[in-house]
Amino acid sequence: MKTRSRLSFLLILVLLAASPAQPLRAEPAPAYGKYSGMFFGTFDTAISLIGFAESKEVFDREYQRAETMFTELHRQFNQYLPYEGLNNLYFVNRNAAAGPVKVPGELFGLLEYCKRMQPQTRGTVNVALGAVLALWHDARESAEADPAHPVLPDIESLRAAAGHTDMEDVVLDAAGQTVFFRDPLLKLDLGAVAKGYAAEKVAQALLKGQMPHFILNAGGNVRAGLSPMDGRQEWSVAIQDPDGENLLSPDTGVIDILYLHDTSVVTSGDYQRFFIAGGRRYHHLISPDTLFPAEHMRSVSIVTRDSAYADLLSTAVFLMPFEQGYDFVRSLEGVEAYWVLNDRSVRMTPGLEGAAHSLGAGPH
């Protein structure tokens, strides 16, 4: 699962800085106040929620609902830890080759979503690439434990693992809600989409509840609800400088700010999970073609309403050369993108030009 803890705290700071202190008065509902909270322990990151509610009690109920949902989805989608009595992704990866495994509804729904959406990513995102990604995960963990002696996965092992990554070997039975692997060496890795899928589930619950005016930050997967109730029409969402430098002000590490509402912003970048070997950065976004980290750009942020779709597309577009990715995004309805290229230049699709601070947009 993609970890963006550094970006998460940065976005929290920017969002709080861009908003007046609580409680706020909003017209035409002067009783509404602004509240915020943060919790840890799910999807390996901090998750924050800022919302406008009629009372602290209403906010607390919605906040607790969000935390409960994230906790359950984290358990179901976790590929690294088992939970007693739960056939989660960890259990599936170890048992689905022996026979069909019945799984919880949300996990089955996510697997169906991935299988349906994979052809739409032009072959760049394959959640059945788990055997390859596991080799890189082990190399990264080894390098973190002993930074002076990093060891890359050897190409022969990578190629052998790549022979067991066919999503057609993942058999989903909707009637029985089961998962079966025809290939016993296949492993699933849902890191390209799981957190965004969970964020969208939570966002939809909030939008239908008593606090639809919110912004949710799941470790860099940002999902904005309806407009803030403090006179502004848009929430402020930061785009991190991949080098931790800052082109706007001395302290925030922000390369730009987007002003948006009722949409998602998800970033994939080479600075989020990586290790250094031979003076070179090896990050976690692996090309299915080269079986090595992609080197086309520093980061790409996808803006579209559905957070699961944004999460999936951010990985897909990061793995494409800029020109290919730009054309791909322009071919999609309701999708915009913001790139930071290797030379630190910035590009964006036309639909973001009116929302970017760097091009003159501001909170309104």
User: Is it true that the peptide bond before 363 is cis, omega within 30 degrees of 0?
Assistant: no
| Amino acid (1-letter code) at residue 314 | S
Residue at 238 is within a domain: no
Q: Which residues of 33-61 are buried (b: 16+ CB within 10 A; e: fewer)?
A: bbbbbeeeebbbbbbbbbbbbeeeebbee
- How far apart (Å, rounded) are the C-alpha atoms in residues 111 and 105? 10
Supply 12's token pair. 């929290």
- Residue-level length of the chain: 364
CA distance 308 to 97: 27
Burial of 5: CB neighbours in 10 Å, binned 0-12, 13-18, 19+: middle
Residue 152, domain CATH: 1.10.3980.10
Q: Would residue 163 count as lying in a domain?
A: yes
On whether residue 170 sits in a domain, the answer given is yes
Is 188 among the domain residues? no
Whether 73 is in a domain gets the answer no
Please give the residue range of the domain that contains residue 107. 89-181
Q: Flag whether pLDDT at 181 surpasses 60.
A: yes
Tokens of residue 343, six digits: 């030379």
Q: How many domains does the chain have?
A: 1
**Cis amide linkage into residue 100, ω under 30° from 0:** no
In a domain, 152, yes or no: yes
Question: Cα–Cα distance between 31 and 281 in angstroms, integer?
Answer: 51
Looking at the predicted structure, is the pLDDT value of residue 8 above 50? no
Handedness of CA 312, 109, 158, 148 (dihedral sign): positive
pLDDT, tens only, 55-80: 999 999 999 999 999 999 999 999 99
Report if residue 145 sits inside a domain: yes
The pLDDT tens digits for 131-166 are 999 999 999 999 999 999 999 999 999 999 999 999
- pLDDT single digits (tens) 344-356: 999 999 999 999 9
User: Nearest-CA neighbor of 171 among 67, 248, 97, 242?
Assistant: 97
In a domain, 359, yes or no: no
Q: Is the pTM of this model over 0.75?
A: yes
Least confident among 264-268, 323-327, 359-363: 359-363
